[in-house]
Amino acid sequence: MKILELPVEFEFNGQKNYIYPSLIILNNELTLVDTGYTNFLTLIENEILKNGYEMKNLKNIIITHYDDDHIGSLYDFKEKYPWINIIASEIESKYISGEMKSERLVQAEEMLENMPNEEIEFGKWFIQQLKNLKHVSIDEKVHDGDMILDNKCRVVATPGHTSGHISLYFPCLKSVITGDAAVHENHELVIANPHFCLNVEKAQQSLRKIKKLQAETYYCYHGGKFTL
């Protein structure tokens, strides 16, 4: 079993950016963690193929939480590879499937009301991005402490950034896939953009929780791999 970091390069506002979805390889089966923005399917596929793996072996997609840079291409993956088993927390699955309006959209609409004029255009654009996301039903809903992927991976509830956010702990690899519970910034693990955190206090508790696991490697979606 191993975890691969998939560096995906893209341009935003004229600047070069990266996200780092993770690929878990177990018994020749692949599990992708998070799917990038909308239209990122090909970018992610290319990274998987570049590492010598075949898309026909993609068995699962795990979504850490509902945010446009994590679920943007989920619908496209499910359309192209209909056999994929999609896994998310019970809380986040309600937003991903469209049963409930997402917390992020509620937050964005509330923030728009008090935005300075120069930011309103971006605020409206961001809301539209969220509204354009296509809903996908979740096949497997997980909870804190659940063991998945042949009991090699423990689901760790890490609320704060969103209320149903999960991270993934692999005891045999001494590794954690953090989602947005931690970002790698200036050679340390910190909470993701506090401006977007739905509950900063809980986000800080969740960061402490995954640090206590004393993993040697933290796979951060933003900032990339952090090794102790």
67: exposed, middle or buried (Cβ count in 10 Å: 0-12, 13-18, 19+) = buried
Which amino acid is it at 30? Answer: L
What's the average model confidence in pLDDT over 219-226?
96
Nearest to 167 by CA among 82, 55, 85, 92: 92
DSSP string over 42-103: HHHHHHHHHTT--GGGEEEEE--S--HHHHTTHHHHHHH-TTPEEEEEHHHHHHHTTSS--H
Q: pTM score, two decimals?
A: 0.95
What's the average model confidence in pLDDT over 48-69?
97
- 32 in Cβ contact with 57 (< 8 Å): no
* Residues 185-218: tens digit of each pLDDT: 999 999 998 888 999 999 999 999 999 998 999 9
Is the pLDDT reported for residue 137 higher than 90? yes
